[in-house]
């Protein structure tokens, strides 16, 4: 009794928080959230880091650490990525294919997205769903179908690079359309109407207003197309015609069963670098293109991230 | 003959089973500041979009200086629009936004440059030509939108709630400016708004719309003082709508029955026996001491007094149960009514208007100005 009474009038003494308050303080930093996030990031990076580590292994093993070297990149006269013609061929073909897919899927997807926006009426709803179908179809089913198509009805095309490119463009297109349409939705119809109102014929509305506003999304979809193609295994595998149409994922998969060497890790590391480079490049280009559209820094990245879905 | 004469003939627009514009006939002479006013969904914006060419009418004609343009695509119509959302091109500078449409007019580079400068000067945007729209305030963006349309020197300018997204202070400034520009250029303005103050202060004529049709089209003063329908009276400003029955009607006016009381109105377009509402503006009702005698006086009791600065709004419950709103100016020698005071209200015959009863417009209890709903 006598101890509680004066403490009411006493000036507030900074009281050390109980540990219960520390844990459940709603004004504090969300520690658990941060810890969980970092744990997840570490966990997801771990296999990648491990794979990269073994790319620099000086021994032949892909399981035990044997010092550091660049042997599997180019120093080894026969087995390194640089000197093994099969690995080199796979890398070349993968990048070639990815470039073709990028350059075909982006303009095609953009045109499709613009067309879908104009198309109101019966059928447009169905077309919408069909366009997005490849996003959810099992890739294997899609690839088997494609394989049958190119060996029967479209036999004149046959298997090989062309078939692989067509196959990859087909499913990449859905992503491109998704990205472009997302951006179109934020652009809004009123800008188009304003341009027409000011005298611009339909082609100019697209050329002078819509396309410039779509450039960031187009850059994003280029990147996505590239990444999807580089990553693709199932479609490339089914539609390949021989050694010269083997992609990196296919090569890694087949060699992993034969005599795997850290050269495969080196190859994967190179692919990772190429992808990262593409991302950085896209970001730089994006920043340059959207300058002035947003005022705050870092928003370009956010916009890119939104456009990437 | 000056350009910019717009005539709408039997204009109809349907969306599936909804008729947005239901047979509008309207004539807007060149150089007029014409406003379409109405609540959300009354068809005012659709009518404007039909004139601009963004929508195709299902029936009717749109004549600009006598030529039907209802089948002309928007980019070939000599009308320009200022959008509520501004619809500026975010990737172009102010200068390029304003100059956008000049490319489609036969003007030299130097001439185009001069006109862009002139347009920017007219809306007071000098010095901001190289900014992007994202770096401008809402009011400045609206000025760019205005300059972009005016630079083409259209005979008719369409404005779709152009001040809707701005704060009250800026709205007043831009209202004055819009009116100045319109008078200076002599361009026909067709203005869409749901804001009655905006409509009354700027317009030469106002069309009050309802359900895709024009309820009344008149000058602001006539619209306010002599509304043709209960809907117009209710939508424009505050009004008292008292349900009455017309007991006697002749050239000199009418006698109206309200419970056991009789009121006289100076004008009446309705025949005897009709159900009607008597409309009187709160500022025209006089508050007198209890027991004062004379025609059109009724006893009542003060139910509520709301202080509003330069005046107070007194709500009086009449003996018949009707609630009447009275505006009492805060003058030095005004009587100070208090809640519960018995009073007498005087409704001068010349201010009493007899309108047809309208089931959709709430009567009996007086209603304040219609709630302001953003966007049509």
Q: Which ipTM was obtained for this model?
A: 0.82
Number of Cβ within 10 Å of residue A244's Cβ equals 12
Task: Determine the pLDDT at residue B6.
Answer: 94
Model confidence at A305, in pLDDT bands (50, 70, 90)?
A: low
Residue A33 forms part of a structural domain: no
What is the rounded CA–CA span in Å between residue A183 and residue B336?
Answer: 62
Contact A191 B103 (CB under 8 A): no
Residue A59 forms part of a structural domain: no
State pLDDT tens for residues A52-103. Answer: 998 898 888 888 888 888 888 888 788 888 888 888 899 899 999 999 999 9
Question: What average pLDDT is seen over chain A?
Answer: 83
* Residue A34 in this model has a pLDDT that exceeds 70: yes
Q: Which of A190, A200, A292 sits opposite B85 (nearest CB)?
A: A190
State pLDDT tens for residues B29-52. Answer: 999 999 999 998 899 999 999 999
CB A86 within 8 A of CB A78: no
Residue A73 forms part of a structural domain: no
pLDDT average, residue stretch A228-245: 90
CB B358 within 8 A of CB B279: no
Give the CATH number, domain containing residue A135. Answer: 1.10.3720.10
* Residue B368 in this model has a pLDDT that exceeds 50: no
State pLDDT tens for residues B227-242. Answer: 999 999 988 888 899 8
Contact A197 B100 (CB under 8 A): no
Residue A32 forms part of a structural domain: no
DSSP B5-72: -EEEEEEEEEETTEEEEEEEEEEE-TT-EEEEE-STTSSHHHHHHHHHTSS--SEEEEEETTEE-TTS
State how far the alpha carbon of A206 is from the alpha carbons of A175, A203, B24, B102, B322, in Å.
Answer: 21, 5, 34, 17, 61
Q: Specify the number of domains making up chain A.
A: 1
- Residues of A with CB below 8 A from B91's CB? 212-213, 293
Which residue out of A197, A293, A303 would a mutagenesis test of the B interface target, given it has the greatest number of B Cβ atoms within 10 Å? A197
State pLDDT tens for residues B68-84. Answer: 999 999 999 999 999 99
The H or E element spanning position B116 is helix B109-122
Task: Determine the pLDDT at residue B164.
Answer: 83
Which of 189-248 (A) contact B at CB < 8 A? 190-191, 193-202, 208-209, 212-213
Contact A199 B152 (CB under 8 A): yes
DSSP A92-121: HHHHHHHHHHHHHHHHHHHHHHHHHHH--S
Model confidence at A290, in pLDDT bands (50, 70, 90)?
A: low
Range name among A137-151, B48-62, B248-262 with the lowest pLDDT average: B248-262
Residue A187 forms part of a structural domain: yes
Its pTM stands at 0.79
Residue of chain B nearest A196, judged by CA positions: B75
Check residue A57 and report its DSSP letter. B
* Residue A308 in this model has a pLDDT that exceeds 80: no
Model confidence at A295, in pLDDT bands (50, 70, 90)?
A: very low
Domain that holds residue A303: 86-307
- B189: β partners: B33, B157
Residue A52 forms part of a structural domain: no
Residue of chain A nearest B97, judged by CA positions: A195
The shares of helix, strand and coil residues in chain B, as percent rounded to the nearest 5, are: 25, 35, 40
Range name among A190-204, A208-222, B60-74, B252-266 with the lowest pLDDT average: B252-266
Task: Determine the pLDDT at residue A302.
Answer: 58
Residue A80 forms part of a structural domain: no
State pLDDT tens for residues B173-220. Answer: 889 889 999 999 999 999 999 988 899 989 999 999 999 999 999 999
Picking from A115, A131, A219, A122, the residue whose alpha carbon sits closest to that of residue A178 is A131
State how far the alpha carbon of A191 is from the alpha carbons of A135, A308, B83, B329, in Å.
Answer: 30, 23, 9, 49
Q: Answer with the residue of higher pLDDT: B229 or A157.
A: B229
State pLDDT tens for residues B316-363. Answer: 998 888 899 999 888 766 667 888 889 999 999 989 998 888 877 776
CA distance A300 to chain B (A): 14
**What is the percent of chain A where pLDDT is above 90?**
35
Q: Answer with the residue of higher pLDDT: B102 or A156.
A: B102
Residue A11 forms part of a structural domain: no
Contact B100 A195 (CB under 8 A): yes
What is the rounded CA–CA span in Å between residue B207 and residue B38?
Answer: 8
């Amino acid at each position: 009794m006598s101890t509680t009474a004066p403490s009411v009038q006493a000036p507030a003494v900074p009281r050390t928080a109980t540990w219960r308050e520390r844990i459940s303080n709603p004004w504090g930093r969300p520690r658990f959230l941060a810890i969980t996030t970092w744990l997840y990031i570490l966990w997801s990076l771990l296999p990648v880091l491990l794979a990269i580590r073994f790319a620099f292994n000086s021994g032949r093993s892909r399981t035990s650490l044997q010092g550091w070297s660049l042997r599997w990149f180019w120093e080894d006269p026969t087995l390194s990525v640089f000197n093994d013609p099969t690995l080199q061929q796979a890398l070349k073909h993968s990048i070639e294919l990815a470039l073709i897919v990028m350059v075909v899927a982006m303009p095609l997807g953009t045109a499709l997205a613009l067309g879908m926006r104009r198309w109101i009426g019966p059928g447009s709803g169905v077309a919408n769903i069909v366009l997005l179908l490849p996003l959810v179809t099992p890739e294997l089913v899609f690839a088997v179908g494609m394989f049958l198509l190119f060996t029967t009805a479209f036999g004149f095309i046959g298997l090989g690079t062309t078939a692989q490119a067509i196959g990859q463009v087909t499913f990449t297109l859905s992503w491109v359309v998704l990205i472009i349409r997302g951006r179109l939705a934020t652009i809004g119809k009123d800008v188009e109407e304003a341009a027409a109102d000011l005298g611009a014929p339909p082609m100019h509305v697209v050329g002078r207003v819509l396309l410039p506003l779509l450039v960031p999304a187009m850059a994003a979809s280029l990147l996505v197309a590239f990444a999807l193609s580089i990553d693709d295994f199932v479609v490339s595998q089914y539609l390949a015609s021989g050694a010269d149409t083997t992609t990196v994922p296919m090569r890694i998969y087949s060699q992993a069963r034969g005599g795997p060497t850290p050269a495969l890790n080196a190859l994967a590391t190179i692919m990772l670098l190429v992808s990262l480079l593409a991302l950085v490049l896209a970001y730089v280009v994006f920043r340059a293109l959207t300058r002035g559209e947003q005022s705050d820094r870092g928003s370009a990245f956010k916009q890119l991230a939104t456009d990437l879905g | 003959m000056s350009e910019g004469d717009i005539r709408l003939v039997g204009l109809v627009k349907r969306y599936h089973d909804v008729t947005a514009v239901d047979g509008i006939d309207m004539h807007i002479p060149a150089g007029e500041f014409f406003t379409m006013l109405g609540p959300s969904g009354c068809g005012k914006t659709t009518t404007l979009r039909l004139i601009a060419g963004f929508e195709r009418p299902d029936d009717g004609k749109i004549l600009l200086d006598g030529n039907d343009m209802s089948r002309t695509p928007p980019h070939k119509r000599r009308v320009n629009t200022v959008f509520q959302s501004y619809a500026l091109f975010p990737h172009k500078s102010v200068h390029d936004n304003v100059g956008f449409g000049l490319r489609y007019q036969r003007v030299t580079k130097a001439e185009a440059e001069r006109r862009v400068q002139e347009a920017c000067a007219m809306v007071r945007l000098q010095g901001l030509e190289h900014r992007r729209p994202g770096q401008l305030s809402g009011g400045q963006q609206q000025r760019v939108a205005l300059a972009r349309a005016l630079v083409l020197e259209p005979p008719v300018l369409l404005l779709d709630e152009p001040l809707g997204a701005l704060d009250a202070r800026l709205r007043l400034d831009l209202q004055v400016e819009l009116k100045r520009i319109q008078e200076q250029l002599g361009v026909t303005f067709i203005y869409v708004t749901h804001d009655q103050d905006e409509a009354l202060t700027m317009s030469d004529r106002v069309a009050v719309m309802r359900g895709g049709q024009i309820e009344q089209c008149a000058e602001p003063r006539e619209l306010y003082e002599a509304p043709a329908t209960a809907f117009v009276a209710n939508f424009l400003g505050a009004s008292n709508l008292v349900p009455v029955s017309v007991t006697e009607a002749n050239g000199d006016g009418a006698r109206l029955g309200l419970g056991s009381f009789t009121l006289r109105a100076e004008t009446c377009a309705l025949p005897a026996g009709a159900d009607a509402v008597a409309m009187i503006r709160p500022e025209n009702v006089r508050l007198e001491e209890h027991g004062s005698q004379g025609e059109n006086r009724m006893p009542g009791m003060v139910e509520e007094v709301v202080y509003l600065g330069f005046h107070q709004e007194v709500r009086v419950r009449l003996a018949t149960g009707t609630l009447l709103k009275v505006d009492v100016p805060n003058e030095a020698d005004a009587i100070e009514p208090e809640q519960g005071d018995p009073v007498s209200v005087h409704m001068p015959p010349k201010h009493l208007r007899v309108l047809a009863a309208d089931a959709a417009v709430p009567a009996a209890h007086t209603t304040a100005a219609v709630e302001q709903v953003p966007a049509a």
